[in-house]
């Protein structure tokens, strides 16, 4: 399932270029074009889901697949050494700008709390 107007679907289909960090059959990870940390990577499923709220129970395995691969990506870029933050925004008030579920992997600087 894809959304023809979704920028992340277009990136997943390689219709729009991105600096890809990791890819397999289910997910794609690429550098954010507006980084909020020295290292800012977005991880998306290739299948279109507007947010966590729209992932049906029968597709819940994609979430563990993403999280386990975030761990691998963090190791790949060396973020596991000093720590990293994983962010999932759900909806406009949480800061979700693109309606395609995506995780942010942020590293390379001291993170603050609360985040926003």
For the domain that residue 22 is a member of, what is the CATH number? Answer: 3.30.428.10
How many structural domains comprise the chain?
A: 1
Residue 116 lies inside a defined structural domain of this protein: no
Residue 97 lies inside a defined structural domain of this protein: yes
Q: Along the 116 residues of the chain, how does pLDDT read in single tens digits? A: 568 899 999 999 999 999 999 999 999 999 999 999 999 999 999 999 999 999 999 999 999 999 999 999 999 999 999 999 999 999 999 999 999 999 999 999 999 998 86
**pLDDT value at position 17?**
97
Residue 115 lies inside a defined structural domain of this protein: no
Residue 30 lies inside a defined structural domain of this protein: yes
Residue 78 lies inside a defined structural domain of this protein: yes
Point out the catalytic residue in the list 40, 48, 102, 104.
102
The widest CA-to-CA distance across the chain, in whole angstroms, is 39
- N-to-C CA span, the chain: 32
Instruction: Find the domain containing 39 and state its range.
Output: 7-107
Residue 92 lies inside a defined structural domain of this protein: yes
Does the active-site annotation cover 65?
no
Question: 7 near 24, Cβ under 8 Å?
Answer: no
């Amino acid at each position: 399932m894809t959304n023809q107007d979704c920028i992340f679907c277009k990136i997943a289909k390689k219709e729009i270029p991105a600096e890809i960090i990791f890819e397999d059959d289910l997910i794609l990870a690429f550098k954010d074009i507006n980084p909020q940390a020295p290292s800012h990577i977005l991880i998306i499923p290739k299948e279109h889901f507007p947010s966590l709220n729209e992932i049906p129970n029968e597709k819940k395995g994609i979430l563990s697949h993403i999280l386990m691969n975030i761990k691998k990506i963090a190791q790949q870029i060396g973020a596991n050494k000093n720590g990293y933050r994983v962010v999932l925004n759900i909806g406009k008030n949480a800061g979700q700008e693109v309606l395609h579920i995506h995780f942010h992997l942020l590293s390379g600087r001291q993170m603050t709390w609360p985040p926003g």
